[in-house]
């Protein structure tokens, strides 16, 4: 036990205090006693000094132990309160213990005082140990919650500065007083560590100050990838502009590097407004937060990088569409002029050559258009443009584009659609593109036989069972949810069942050696599927290897 215990003794009789001193001295316990006997003196004593123990007589002329105990619990809750009384009965003493007194000793058995004191100290130590452990557990819990909150913010891909501001807010969990915190980012080109976000600082002023002062300390943290502690940055000789820190009242500094994939990305700094010694635990917590900040920054930079890469890709495609497509269109124009004899007579051989040139140029343009369309689908820049249109007009127009058959194959293209008026509301251009791709494939993969295009209306409830209305003539636009089915059937090479599930994938071709003979890039059906989805429709494939194919697209007749 430490020497000279400070004891506040609530006692009217000085000789009882002497007796207590003697009882303790007998056990080698030195102490300093302050005797008080009124409420005012008791309160004043507790307010002015700290005591190791409080002894109290139960009743005094103008005061009593229960009232004193209430005051002691409020003003000095950790100080053991021992009832040292002569007249008190067992029952009364027990009542007081229930209210929070530590122990009691009757005056004629003061020799027990040392044992009681030792026990009181032991129990007080255990209590404060328990309280510290509880506080620690609570603090850890709060930190874990904070880290979860930050993780969630990162996962939700919130704006980077919002994530970092939340993170800076959480730094206060390791500090009993408000701290100033900042995140700065290393600019790889200039080598400077530039301001990003701060807390408890005037942000505009901070940015200006940081622009004016070189980031020596932050640079060092980035280079060494190690934390740095400065006890007083206002007086530290390494501080470039001590005045700035004096004006902001910043004293102690702790900076930790933000490291992602082994590279320093910046610095997370904490400043206190009073001189403070950062303990290992605080440094470790800041490191954990720094890891989170680094992840958030890394994600944001990756995202920026991806967005930039996408922009570059879009720009490239923009250039491609103009720089490659435009000359091709000019080429097509001249081929047409030559072929039509507008630039002089063309013999049969030359005409054949021009026809081949024309076919190649058209293939090229189609391929470029397909790739551009695919990237637009990927970039989600494709929109639906619904209009009310006459179905037969759309099909008549589509049919007219297949009038001139340059193919020398023995394939007949047949059309079957009702000619009676039937208005549907859909995106006509997308629908035409779907049918174009299906018909072109059917023609491409069929060497002999027919390619048949048939169109019919289906009642909504019948779509699943595949029952049709008698014909489009019975179609009534006022009826809700009618469907229109477009079937493209060919007698070509067919598609083996195992490949059906991949057939609409991007760049998928059933058999590369075979399709190479047929040409194409494997994007036609991908576009068909995406556009059918866009129009709210469905697509089905019936096909077997060597037995021809049928692609059936069903779309709602109203948007």
Listing DSSP states for 46-59 in one string gives HHH---SEEEE-SB
Helix (H, G, I), strand (E, B) or coil at 258: strand
Q: C-beta of 509: minimal distance to ligand ADP in Å?
A: 3
Q: C-beta of 335: minimal distance to ligand ADP in Å?
A: 23
Residue 556 DSSP code? E
Q: C-beta of 496: minimal distance to ligand ADP in Å?
A: 9
Q: C-beta of 542: minimal distance to ligand ADP in Å?
A: 11
Q: According to CB under 6 A, which residues from 465 to 524 bind ligand ADP?
A: 490, 492-495, 503, 508-510, 515, 520-524
Rounded alpha-carbon distances, angstroms, from residue 26 to 111, 147, 421:
8, 56, 119
Q: C-beta of 225: minimal distance to ligand ADP in Å?
A: 51
Residue 526 binds ligand ADP, judged by CB under 6 A: yes
Which of 131, 135, 167, 137 lies closest to 150 in space, CA to CA? 167
User: From its phi and psi, is residue 299 left (phi > 0), alpha (psi between -120 and 50) or beta?
Assistant: alpha
From the number of C-beta atoms within 10 Å of its C-beta (0-12, 13-18, 19+), residue 175 rates as middle
Residue 71 binds ligand ADP, judged by CB under 6 A: no
Q: According to CB under 6 A, which residues from 378 to 437 bind ligand ADP?
A: 437
| Residue 419: partners with Cβ closer than 8 Å, 6 or more residues away | 392
User: From its phi and psi, is residue 267 left (phi > 0), alpha (psi between -120 and 50) or beta?
Assistant: beta
Between 398 and 493, whose beta carbon lies closer to ligand ADP? 493
Q: Which two tokens stand for residue 449?
A: 């036989």
Q: C-beta of 442: minimal distance to ligand ADP in Å?
A: 4
Instruction: Return d(Cα 374, Cα 525) in angstroms, integer.
Output: 11
> Which residue intervals of 49-101 are DSSP H helices?
65-75, 90-99
Residue 266, beta-bridge partner list: 185, 258
Between 485 and 490, whose beta carbon lies closer to ligand ADP? 490
Q: How many residues bind ligand ADP (CB under 6 A)?
A: 22
Between 91 and 512, whose beta carbon lies closer to ligand ADP? 512
Helix (H, G, I), strand (E, B) or coil at 381: coil
Calculate Rg over the CA atoms of the chain: 44
Between 35 and 487, whose beta carbon lies closer to ligand ADP? 487
Residue 255 binds ligand ADP, judged by CB under 6 A: no
Q: C-beta of 456: minimal distance to ligand ADP in Å?
A: 20
Residue 445 binds ligand ADP, judged by CB under 6 A: yes
Helix (H, G, I), strand (E, B) or coil at 344: strand
Between 271 and 526, whose beta carbon lies closer to ligand ADP? 526
Between 186 and 438, whose beta carbon lies closer to ligand ADP? 438
Which of 173, 291, 283 lies closest to 228 in space, CA to CA? 283
Candidate list 252, 491, 549, 557; residue touching ligand ADP; CB under 6 A: 549
Residue 390, beta-bridge partner list: 423
Residue 449 binds ligand ADP, judged by CB under 6 A: no
| Residue 78: partners with Cβ closer than 8 Å, 6 or more residues away | 124, 127, 128
Instruction: Return d(Cα 411, Cα 391) in angstroms, integer.
Output: 26
Instruction: Return d(Cα 11, Cα 36) in angstroms, integer.
Output: 6
Between 489 and 554, whose beta carbon lies closer to ligand ADP? 489
Q: C-beta of 451: minimal distance to ligand ADP in Å?
A: 8
Q: C-beta of 524: minimal distance to ligand ADP in Å?
A: 2
Secondary structure tally for the chain: helices H, strands E: 16, 17
- Per-position x/- string for 91-120, each x denoting binding to ligand ADP as judged by CB under 6 A, each - no binding: ------------------------------
Q: C-beta of 508: minimal distance to ligand ADP in Å?
A: 6
Between 467 and 545, whose beta carbon lies closer to ligand ADP? 545
Between 522 and 536, whose beta carbon lies closer to ligand ADP? 522
Encode 393-439 in three state secondary structure.
HHHHHHHHCCCCCCCCCEEEEEEECCCCCCEEEECHHHHHHHHHHHH
Q: C-beta of 332: minimal distance to ligand ADP in Å?
A: 21
Between 418 and 522, whose beta carbon lies closer to ligand ADP? 522
Instruction: Return d(Cα 15, Cα 17) in angstroms, integer.
Output: 5
Between 286 and 413, whose beta carbon lies closer to ligand ADP? 413
Between 335 and 435, whose beta carbon lies closer to ligand ADP? 435
Q: Which two tokens stand for residue 241?
A: 């502009």
Q: C-beta of 222: minimal distance to ligand ADP in Å?
A: 50
Residue 33 binds ligand ADP, judged by CB under 6 A: no
Binding residues vs ligand ADP (CB under 6 A): 437, 441-442, 445, 490, 492-495, 503, 508-510, 515, 520-526, 549
């Amino acid at each position: 036990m430490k020497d000279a215990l400070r004891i506040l003794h609530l006692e009217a009789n000085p000789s009882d205090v002497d007796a207590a001193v003697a009882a303790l001295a007998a056990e080698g316990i030195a102490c300093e006693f302050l005797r008080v006997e009124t409420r005012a003196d008791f309160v004043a004593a507790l307010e002015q000094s700290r005591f190791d123990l409080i002894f109290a007589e139960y009743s005094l002329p103008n005061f009593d132990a229960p009232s004193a105990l209430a005051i002691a619990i409020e003003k000095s809750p950790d100080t053991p309160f021992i009832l040292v009384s002569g007249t008190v009965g067992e029952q009364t003493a027990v009542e007081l213990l229930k209210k929070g007194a530590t122990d009691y000793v009757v005056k004629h058995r003061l020799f027990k005082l040392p044992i009681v004191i030792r026990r009181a100290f032991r129990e007080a130590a255990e209590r404060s140990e328990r309280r510290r452990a509880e506080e620690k557990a609570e603090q850890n819990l709060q930190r874990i919650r904070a880290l979860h909150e930050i993780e969630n913010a990162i996962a939700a891909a919130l704006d980077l500065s919002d994530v970092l501001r939340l993170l800076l807010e959480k730094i206060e969990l390791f500090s009993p007083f408000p701290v100033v915190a900042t995140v700065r980012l290393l600019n790889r080109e200039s080598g400077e560590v530039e301001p990003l976000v701060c807390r408890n600082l005037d942000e505009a002023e901070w940015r200006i100050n940081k622009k004016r002062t070189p980031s020596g300390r932050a640079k060092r943290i980035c280079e060494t990838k190690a934390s740095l502690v400065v006890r007083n940055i206002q007086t530290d000789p390494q501080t470039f502009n001590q005045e700035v820190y004096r004006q902001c009242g910043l004293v102690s500094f702790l900076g930790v590097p933000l490291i992602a994939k082994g590279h320093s990305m910046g610095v997370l700094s904490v400043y206190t407004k009073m001189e403070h010694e950062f303990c290992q635990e605080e440094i470790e917590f800041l490191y954990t937060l720094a890891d989170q900040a680094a992840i958030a920054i890394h994600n944001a930079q990756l995202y920026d990088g991806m967005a930039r890469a996408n922009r570059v890709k879009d720009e490239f495609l923009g250039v491609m569409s103009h720089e490659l497509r435009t000359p091709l269109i000019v080429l097509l124009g001249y081929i047409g002029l030559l072929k039509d004899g507008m630039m002089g007579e063309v013999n049969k051989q030359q005409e054949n050559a021009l026809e081949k040139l024309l076919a190649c140029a058209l293939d090229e343009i189609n391929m470029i258009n397909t790739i551009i369309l695919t990237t637009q689908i990927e970039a989600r820049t494709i929109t639906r443009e619904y209009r009310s249109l006459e179905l037969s007009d759309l099909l008549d127009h589509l049919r007219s584009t297949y009038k001139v058959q340059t193919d020398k194959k023995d394939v007949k293209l047949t059309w079957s659609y009702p000619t009676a008026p039937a208005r549907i509301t859909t995106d006509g251009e997308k629908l035409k593109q779907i049918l174009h791709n299906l018909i072109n494939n059917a023609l491409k993969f069929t060497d002999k036989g027919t390619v048949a295009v048939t169109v019919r209306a289906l009642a909504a409830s019948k779509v699943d069972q595949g029952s049709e209305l008698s014909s489009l003539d019975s179609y009534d636009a006022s009826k809700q949810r009618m469907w229109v089915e477009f079937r493209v059937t060919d007698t070509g090479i067919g598609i083996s069942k195992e490949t059906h599930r991949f057939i609409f994938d991007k760049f998928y071709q059933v058999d590369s050696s075979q399709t190479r003979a047929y040409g194409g890039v494997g994007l036609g059906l991908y576009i068909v599927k995406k556009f059918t989805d866009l129009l709210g429709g469905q697509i089905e494939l019936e096909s077997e290897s060597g037995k021809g194919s049928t692609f059936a697209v069903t779309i709602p007749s109203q948007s």
